[in-house]
Amino acid sequence: MIALAAIVLIASTVFLMAVPSAEAAEDEPSDMFADIRAETYLLAVGKTATYDIYAYGEKSTITFTAKLVDSNGYSVGRVSPSSGSLTDDTRALTVTAPESPGTYTLEVKFEFKGDVEGEITKKAPVRAVVPITLSAVLENKSGTLTDITVWFIVDGNVDERIGEQEITIGAKETKTVTHEWLGPLNGLSWGKHTVTLDAEIWLLSEDLINVESSVFYVGQNSYALSETLVVILFIILLIALIWVFRKPVKNLGKPKARR
């Protein structure tokens, strides 16, 4: 009898496993999706940028919490709104960078409740930098008012138009053109960088010319400071050597004879 009961139990178990469970099918969750996107991950210190968050979970209510953290995981800067729900599966966040330059991380935790339940955490970089002021001077030597589109070129890279803008320069007028540049996302190498101004064909005429370009330095104000420090160090070393070699040797006298 025991053997027969065991056979029946095994057969029943195999039958139940072969028939799909309706409850199990209903509880099977759909895919959850979440993401963070931005036009640029580079912004000036203390300034704001918009990060768009996206999430989808079928027949689910989606809420989020967001924060900006440094490399140690401490909250910095500001995110607005820092929490809430998603309308139409998307929401725009305003991220304010700290006053100190550096690379930070925007962390957003999405919570799904409903037919699909769970959590997803997404991260996006936030690189805060001190803007570089690009400048150049234009002189309109003609006697007429001129409208012109100009842009900056850094280190001779003509393929990248930086700070493109339209300006109006009066007759016989000299105007300084400036642009606050955040630089490339991966940063600039240390040292000297050149800035020139380019424009439409009008700039190539003899009446409107680029009379001045500029340079800027990454990591130091200029090489003149380094050269000055080297000269000062050399002078100090030279004085020290002269003092050592010209220092008179004390006459200690003849050694006393031993008794």
182 pLDDT above the threshold of 50:
yes
Q: By C-alpha distance, which of 117, 122, 104, 8 is closest to 49? A: 104
User: How much is the pTM?
Assistant: 0.64
The 10s digit of each residue's pLDDT in 210-239 is: 556 677 777 655 445 555 666 787 788 878
DSSP assignment of 64-96 equals: EEEEEE-TTS-B-SEEESSEEE-BTTEEEEEEE
Give the chain's radius of gyration (CA, Å): 35
pLDDT, mean of residues 45-58: 94
Is the distance from CB of 152 to CB of 196 less than 8 angstroms? Answer: yes
Q: Is 175 left (phi over 0), alpha (psi -120 to 50) or beta?
A: beta
The 10s digit of each residue's pLDDT in 93-142 is: 999 999 999 999 999 999 999 888 899 999 999 999 999 889 888 888 77
- Measured at the CA of 146, the angle between CA 140 and CA 151, to 5 degrees, comes to 80
Higher pLDDT, 159 or 100: 100
Residue 51's DSSP bridge partners are 38, 93
In the chain, the amino acid numbered 58 is E
Q: Which domains does the chain have, with CATH numbers?
A: 29-129 (2.60.40.1930), 132-218 (2.60.40)
